Structure 1
Amino acid sequence: MAKQLDYMTMKEVFARFEAAEPHPKGELDHTNAYTLLVAVALSAQATDVGVNKATKDLFPIADTPEKMLALGEAGLIEHIKTIGLFRQKAKNVIKMSQILVERYEGVVPSSRAALTALPGVGRKTANVVLNMWFGHPAQAVDTHIFRIGNRTGICPGKDVDAVERAIEDNVPVEYQRHAHHWLILHGRYTCVARKPKCGACVIRDLCPFEDKTV
């Protein structure tokens, strides 16, 4: 685990991320808060590409909790059966949709507590929705962020909760809104797990990782 970078280095790291990608976005296709919530819930242990393929035909016919309930669990399974754990995910989405209709009049709540109380919605999923749809500076830590946070010293921590706190505590406030997107993209395409592309890295000179690749 690398030591936490100092404030001025952190400021330069995120200034470079912003210069390279001023308006970072998530890669899950969605049309509203509900489809975003469903897409993120489906993405657990699955790729964004795989989820997008499954939801391409799903969301045009089930983009609200009411329409999803009308489709039903069996109908939903037909659309998402290429995704890992599809049966359990289908059960969760249907239960989630039922709760949204019964308790929230079909509207996705903007509270982390309310979101994480929904079936199949953990803290990471809730944070993605809060950040991407509601504009909150919530930090969704995935395997990419956990890896590069500890490798680079941007947000080191022994578990995902510690890494989330490290982002909140150490990333300059002006970069909090998009911090997790920049980190995910950096981990997904540059600071990859096995052979990081250090030669193409915009923060190579600021990173303390000892085993840099050529």
Structure 2
Amino acid sequence: MLGRRQILFGALGLITLGALPARGADANLLKRFGAPKTRVQGGTRSGRGKAQPEVLLSEEPALSATAEPDLFWYLSADYGLRVELTLTPVGSTEPLLHQVQKRGAAAGIHALSLKDADVRLAEGQDYVFALTLVPDPTVRTADVSARGTLRFVPHGPFTDARAAAAAGYWVDAFAMADRALRVALLEDVDLPRPADWLLNQAA
């Protein structure tokens, strides 16, 4: 009997001759290094029905093989007010990037291109990537934020997303992955809400 995950993958046309691995086969896709967890996801007191922000990074510092990667973030519901994206070197109070979307953003997964933003990461430096919903710019205590950490550690080109994940490079693995593998990667690092959102796009 097929479970929920297999049924939804079937809607993507992926249940063909082993195209969909068993659930256990996709566990632990990402190599871990035993570093402290740095990801903190946003939430609201009455979370149901309200937009909740999440940064799509691994729980421990996410590795990037390139200095200008794409970073991904997620909103659980449409949000029509101010959204802020920041990238700040750990140990600094001045963000390297501060992007403001005054009209908010739709529910779902979004990408931020550091190349398009003309931002380069320094090798070996940790950065905090933060997503903040701002209902009232004059009352910042009402902000709802999510944040995670990433680090640029140069690496040669990966053959595919699975190879990047096996080497511990979350940023590259997620950017290279197709939809099905992105779902598996999100589940692997305990990000079920964006994983479900991706699955439901095919339902």
Considering the TM-score relative to the shorter chain, is it more than 0.5? no
TM category, shorter: under 0.3
After TM superposition, the score normalised by the length of structure 2 is 0.27
Say which structure is richer in strand. Answer: 2
Say which structure is richer in helix. Answer: 1
After TM superposition, the score normalised by the length of structure 1 is 0.26
Greater C-alpha radius of gyration:
1
